[in-house]
Structure 1
Amino acid sequence: MVPDLSVELTGRLREAFLEVGYDADGVLGVLGPRAHAALGRGEPEAARRASRDAGALGTLIRLFLLGDAEDEKAVRRALPGVDLDAAIGNEVLRGDGAELRAGLDVRPYGDDEGSWWVVADLDSEQRGGPVPADHVLGVGHASISLARATSRRPVGTLLDLGTGCGVQALHASRHAGRITATDLSERALALAAGTFRLNEVDVELRRGEWFAPLRGRRFDQVVCNPPFVVGPPRVDYVYRDSGLEGDDASALVVRQVPAFLAEGGVGQLLASWLHRRGEDWADRVSAWLPRGGGVDAWFVQRDVADPALYVGTWLRDAGVDPRGDEGRAKAGAWLDWFAENDVEGVGFGFVTLRRTDTEHPEVVCEDLRHAYDDPLGPESAAWLDRVAWLRAHGNDDLLATRFTVPPTVLLEEVSEPTGDGWEAVVRRLHRTDGPGWQHELDETAARLLAGCRGALPLADLIALLAYAQDLDADALTAAALPVVRDLVRHGMVAPA
């Protein structure tokens, strides 16, 4: 059965939620930061206690966020104007004797600008067992990560490929004029439609596999949280399994997104890739790009998982006990496939693509496995800007440019004691904002950057440094230019 989250039902729910304050701020106000954090860790008791004296809002918190059974009269008071029979008939609620429980996960979710509600299926803990094959995942770590990694500059048209419960499209509503969302799953589209109606967000929904419903169309931006789990070609759960072998799902999206981008359009997605014995992961993912170029690409690797840990994590995510018969059978087949394909690890990260007509697109693959606080979205947009600036400025232009070092960039030195005092063994340029890039430098490069104060062009700085250190100016220029380009690309040196 596919629920019908009609305009009438979602409108009544919206009115009730607004009336009782069931939104992100309201929930936090009742629970307080400690109980709210405990709930996020899967520890509900503190939240249950905090909600006891919160009236109708407390009822909705226990009903939808804690999975408790609530008295029908209390639910009716908390959802004034809502036809409970219609809510039960369309899975929003379900009967439990004389009480009611949530049939769907309907929860507040917000950003810095406000709060939404997201409709999804109950997870394995809420269900008390494994999820079904057509399970529609709610707001999870992957969807939040993609939202934080996505550029939010205004665009005319945006595609949310594989929308699921609609999280990425909600974020897109802040900066996109028109939004199209697709999914293969009929159930996912039904729940996404409920999400959009609850929030009064206008989204065009299309059903179909991958890009099939979008022939002949192009978008200013594409976002995608695909079923990127890697392994044998099977579909246990549609939200994570593509039916394609290995990392072919990620490869398919990277390969095909550019054809659906307008000139200058940007595609951003989560992806996974195999680390195979004797193969560089950067070579693997770069080979996914369309032949003939025309695409700037930035692959950022956030983590590499051990195969055994990877398998156990995804089994538990679906509510399958790795120690049970089903879990052991699935884990065995999965690990056998990894062994047969020489897989030593599974990489995970973000991909940013831009369609361009240049003959020399920029393709960069780099690790970003250290912790950082700032969202990657603004950085991905700035990275594309810096790549475009570098493309438009040849070496002669760079030499004529006055550069500065941003105040967020620091030079760190590690020294060791010697007979004459301390001697620097490591000089590291560290950007303290954004993703926290780091570059190791030699003494000559550090001296060059010390002169980047916006007063002199790079050519003059190199000439002065060559004279002061008795170095060949041409050789120093040849060595300095690629370093400066790399630092510009990472926002550690900027045109004045």
Structure 2
Amino acid sequence: MTAPAAERIPDLRSDLIGAGLTVDALTALWGEEAAEALHRGQRTPAERALARREPSALATLARLFVLGRPVPQAEAAAALPALGVAGAIELGLLTLDESTGTAAPAIDLRPYGFVDAAGPAEWWIVSDLGELALGHALPEDHVLGVGGASLTLSGLMLQTPVDTALDLGTGCGIQAMHAARHARRVVATDISPRALRLAALNLALNEIDGVELRLGSMFEPVAGERFDHIVSNPPFVITPRVEGVPAYEYRDGGMVGDALVASFVSGCGEHLAPGGVAQLLGNWEYRGAGDGLERVRDWVDASPAPLDAWVIERDVEDAVRYSETWIRDGGTRHGTPEFEQLMGAWLDDFERRDVQSVGFGYLLLRRPAGVATGIPTLRRFERLHGSLGANEAGLGVHLGEALAAHDLQAALEDDELARLRPVVAGDVTEERHLWPGADSPTAILLRQGGGFGRVVSADTGLAALVGACDGELSVGAIAAALAQLLEVDEDALRRELLTAVRGLLVDGFLRG
């Protein structure tokens, strides 16, 4: 994007505002069912709905930039009164076919709304046209828009205000834009010059300042620098490194197997300020009879810089299904010779390393701070498979609270913890199961409505303690009263409950 072209961005913004291109307006334009169909890659319902609507600037822009369809040049000009067709071509938004008098989209441009700790917001996001609009497989330099992985990472992002943040592998710039809401200064890097150009357009279009864009691979563009927060949706997809297999810049990092994620874990500690946190998405291989999550633990343990670690595996796919997923993601269709060729290459690659399946999940890594010269206190590797529903969108705040709670309880000896006066979280409910006619429950479950939606099995003593946590009584006082009521040894019950309280604080059932 040249400097003269960049001067036309305010005109584009003016036209988008004038047309009312928002998430709610698009949904109202073609309806909930058509909007859901679009998320599944089906645009026909939306096109049919548009055909029944009166012409408008919103309908024209939706047809062009969301559905990826050409429109008559005159309609494009009417929908972009400030920018004009010539300005849109200058910005790289449109191409013109003089023979047919039509304007066709050169990019995807759509509204994106979200809510974070700072409140609700909405942006316009520019990215490359997808498979639906192109009608063929994606080019290798494709710049992805806001996909499922982007939404997952932005939902996980800590919201704590910091001085500096790094978005490694920024793509269209979406994570850098989110980071700019809590960081004073953001550096965003990518190996793709085209991605950086589109990221610059998105930043300017949405009037987001304080983000510096740099070209380069992994941590090379920030050599010698440290950050308070690093976020990355890296190109972690495990792709065969053989001729004939496309390597998409947005997802394929150019390393064998899961080496890219291992490399990130190894290198991020040197670029974190004391107390700084890195968050990323990643894949890890299950080789032979080995445990993929243990591979990640080994990477953390081998890090040159000490790291706290909280790793959550969200899913595991067998080698065949994993291959299908990513071949199809690139736009190669099932049943074609190209698909079969790529499937063979993927399975050959997995067989060479005896890969049975691939795990996917979140990594949260922290450079410890404090008088203990950075000795790690957090080592948590867990599996939380299955849907989290709406919870996943707001996990960033929960993770920040969980880290603070971990630090609180880790710094307290048992006697100090016993003096704590916690409060039970407002989203916690208790569930009791009894045999018909029985006086005592066979199971007591504490359920968390927010966070990761955890369920804790409790005995009578723990359930009673949680129920008594109202901020008035200390843990020690509650334990003493329960020991007398249940007629059990006070010291033994106290030790048992204190151990449980530590976990309940970190998981968000109790607040200190």
TM-score (norm 2): 0.89
Whether contact under 8 Å (1:5, 1:191) holds in the other structure is: no
What amino acid maps onto 1:207 in structure 2? L
Aligned mates of 1:55, 1:146 — CA distance in 2: 35
Choose the corresponding residue for 2:298, options 287, 291, 294.
Answer: 287
CA distance in 1, matches of 2:497, 2:229: 36
Worse-superposed segment, 288-297 or 361-370: 288-297
Q: 1:243 to 1:413 in 2, by over 3 A?
A: same
User: Which range moves more in the overlay, 30-39 or 302-311?
Assistant: 30-39
Question: C-alpha distance in 2, partners of 1:108/1:4?
Answer: 25
* Amino acid in the other structure paired with 2:422: F
> Is the contact made by 1:293 and 1:359 (CA closer than 8 Å) also made in structure 2?
no
Deviations 1:159-190 (A, max 9, x none): 11110011112222322222211100111111
* Residues 119 and 407 (structure 1), Cα distance of their counterparts in 2 relative to 1, 3 Å cut: closer
Does residue 76 of the first structure (1) align with residue 69 of the second (2)? no
CA shift, 1:89, in A, is 5.9
The residue that corresponds to 1:240 in the other structure is: 251
Structure 2 residue aligned with 1:99, among 89, 98, 102? 102
Which whole-Å CA distance do the structure 1 matches of 2:82 and 2:402 have between them? 50
1:104-119 aligned at under 5 Å gives the runs 104-112=107-115, 113-119=120-126
Counterpart among 258, 273, 279 of residue 268 in structure 1? 279
Matching residue's letter, 2:59: G
**Aligned residue pairs, count:** 492
Give the distance between the partners of 1:292 and 1:399, measured in 2 at CA: 37
Q: Quick check: 1:136–1:188 contact (8 Å CA) kept in 2?
A: yes
1:133 maps to 140
Taking the aligned partners of 1:344 and 1:440, their CA distance within structure 2 comes to 33
How many percent of aligned residue pairs carry the same amino acid? 39
Deviations for 1:65-97, whole angstroms, at most 9, x for unmatched residues?
Answer: 112220011111111233534533664212343
Q: Shift of residue 145 of structure 1?
A: 1.0
Whether contact under 8 Å (2:160, 2:182) holds in the other structure is yes
Which stretch has the larger CA shift, 469-478 or 405-414? 469-478
Query: 1:333 matched to which residue of 2?
Result: 345
Which of residues 173, 180, 190 is equivalent to 2:197?
190
Of 425, 429, 432, the residue aligned with 2:449 is: 432
The within-5 A match list for 1:146-295 is 146-202=153-209, 203-233=211-241, 236-289=247-300, 291=303, 294-295=306-307
- Cα distance in 1 between the residues matched to 2:35 and 2:138: 25
Tell me the residue number matched to 2:54: 53
| Structure 1 residue 398 displacement after superposition | 1.1
Q: d(CA) in 2 for partners of 1:292 and 1:474?
A: 42
Does the 8 A contact of 1:352 with 1:380 survive in 2? no
- Extract unaligned runs of 5+ from structure 1: none
CA distance in 2: counterparts of 1:4 and 1:103, whole angstroms? 19
Alignment partners' CA distance in 1, 2:173 and 2:28: 26
Q: Secondary structure at the match of 1:373?
A: helix
| TM alignment of 1:31-46, pairs within 5 A | 31-46=30-45
User: Mean alpha-carbon deviation: is it higher for 199-208 or for 407-416?
Assistant: 407-416
Structure 1 residue 430 displacement after superposition = 0.8
Q: Which of residues 336, 359, 375 in structure 1 aligns to 2:375?
A: 359
Q: Which runs of 5+ in 2 are unaligned?
A: none
Deviations 1:270-305 (A, max 9, x none): 111123343233322122225466422211222222
Mapped to 1, the partners of 2:313 and 2:395 lie a distance apart of 12
Counterpart CA distance in 2 for 1:3 and 1:274 is: 43
Alpha-carbon distance between aligned partners in 2 of 1:100 and 1:231, rounded to the nearest angstrom: 37
SS at match of 1:456: coil
Q: Residue 25 of structure 2 corresponds to which residue in structure 1? A: 26
* Secondary structure in 2 matching 1:139: coil
Amino acid at match of 2:224: G
Please state if 1:405 is matched with 2:421: no
Write the letter of the residue equivalent to 2:205.
L
The equivalent residue for 1:472 is 489
| 2:471 counterpart residue number | 454
Q: Is the 8 A contact 2:167 2:189 kept in 1?
A: yes
Matched to 1:133, the amino acid is E
C-alpha separation in 2, matches of 1:74 and 1:100:
9
Instruction: Check whether the contact 2:267–2:303 (CA below 8 A) recurs between aligned residues.
Output: no
Distance change (3 Å), C-alpha of 1:3 and 1:350:
farther
Comparing 143-152 with 168-177, which one deviates more in the overlay?
168-177
Distance 1:344 1:479, change over 3 A: farther
Using the TM superposition, give the Cα deviation of residue 41 of structure 1 relative to its aligned residue in structure 2, in angstroms.
3.0
Instruction: Measure how far apart 1:340 and its partner are.
Output: 3.5
Give 1:59 shift: 0.7
Matched residue, 1:16: 15
Distance in structure 2 (CA, Å) of the matches to 1:450 and 1:81:
62
CA gap of 1:17–1:452, structure 2 versus 1, over 3 A, is closer
Residues 164 and 188 in structure 1, CA contact (< 8 A), matched pair in contact too: yes
Indicate the residue corresponding to 2:385 in structure 1.
369
Alpha-carbon distance between aligned partners in 2 of 1:11 and 1:204, rounded to the nearest angstrom = 20
| Secondary structure in structure 2 of the residue aligned to 1:179 | strand
Contact 1:402–1:458 (8 Å) recurs in 2: yes
Of residues 151, 154, 168, the one that matches 1:144 is 151
Contact 1:5 1:193 in 2 (8 A): no
Shift of 1:193: 1.4
Amino acid at match of 2:72: D
Counterpart CA distance in 1 for 2:45 and 2:55 is: 14
Tell me the distance in 2 between the aligned counterparts of 1:141 and 1:174: 21
AA in 1 matched with 2:264: V
